[in-house]
Amino acid sequence: MIGKKIIYLPTCQSTNTYLASQATQEDLPEGTLAYTFVQTAGKGQRGNTWESAPNQNLTFSYLLLPTFLPIADMFLLGMVTALGVHDFVAEWVGKGIGHLNKDVSIKYPNDVLVGKQKIAGILIENALRGENIEKSIIGIGLNINQTEFVNLRATSLSLETGQTFDLETCLPTLVKYLGKWYEMLKEKKYIEIKANFLAKSFQFNELCTYYTPEGEIYGKIIDIDTAGKLHLDTEKGVRTFYFKEISFFSLQM
């Protein structure tokens, strides 16, 4: 389904913004995908921008119509998207999958890491109707061949493997992984999806320090629910946070 209609943009400020605008002007089929290799103002989480050197990485967005998914479970869409990206990266560098035997994980809410370095980011923008999602624009930035970053906590497939990748080949392969997990969501395999997401989550069930506006908290992640709340077991009991309320790394790092 994903990639049923493909729009190539020689250059674009933001594929999310472009596709959202197009969806209001015409009746786009579900799975419509817009991609560019030269994105000049990509959007990230928390209002950040997404750094991407021209012609080095995958930057694309696609349209989904998950009208079957209640708003209360909307984080499942983020889970299946992150799992698709995770599995693509893990094919090359993942522990137990690729020959390099490196840890690939999903950092809440949906960044993909190799070790502690960010290799991919996901931005999901939903339009709601009643108690369900009407449509979703899902944007993905995946670092492929870029080797120098302003953000020192970033990496790429090329940095991790020493190889150079063909972007035109990587895109359809990644789309297959995304499509596989989205089909599982449509089949309402919620328990299996969540179990896989938790198993691949960064620092799941590990005692670690986290950072909140009220200070540092020591605890371990014991759950991430389908509404998008992170459950942290601390010495003062279980506390819940949304992604804007908690950080994994100190701002000084």
Q: d(Cα 207, Cα 224) in Å, to the nearest integer?
A: 16
pTM given for the model: 0.93
Position 253 scores a pLDDT of: 39
Regarding whether 161 and 101 lie in a shared domain, the answer is yes
- For β-strands 6-8 and 33-36, DSSP reports them as parallel
Reduced to 3 states, what is the DSSP secondary structure of residue 90? Answer: helix
Separation CA 138–CA 61 (nearest Å): 5
Residues 128-147: pLDDT tens digits? Answer: 888 889 999 999 999 999 99
Please state, in angstroms and rounded to a whole number, the distance separating the CA atoms of residues 34 and 13. 12
CATH number for the domain harbouring residue 127: 3.30.930.10
Average pLDDT of the residues of the chain: 91
Model pLDDT for residues 170-181, shown as the tens digit of each residue = 999 999 999 999
The H or E element spanning position 11 is none
Write the burial class of residue 177 (CB in 10 Å: 0-12 exposed, 13-18 middle, 19+ buried): buried
Q: Is residue 253 part of a domain?
A: no
Q: What is the rounded CA–CA span in Å between residue 57 and residue 39?
A: 9
The total of structural domains in the chain comes to: 2
- Same-domain status, 237 and 157: no
What's the pLDDT at 43? 63
- Greater confidence (98 vs 92) lies with 92
- Do 125 and 219 lie in one domain? The reply is no
Segments forming the whole domain that contains residue 236? 208-245
Residue for token pair 């890491």? 113
Reported for 156-160, long-range contacts at CB under 8 A and 24+ positions apart, including other chains, are 156/56, 156/57, 156/119, 157/89, 157/92, 157/93, 157/119, 160/92, 160/93, 160/100, 160/102, 160/114, 160/119
CATH number at residue 240: 2.30.30
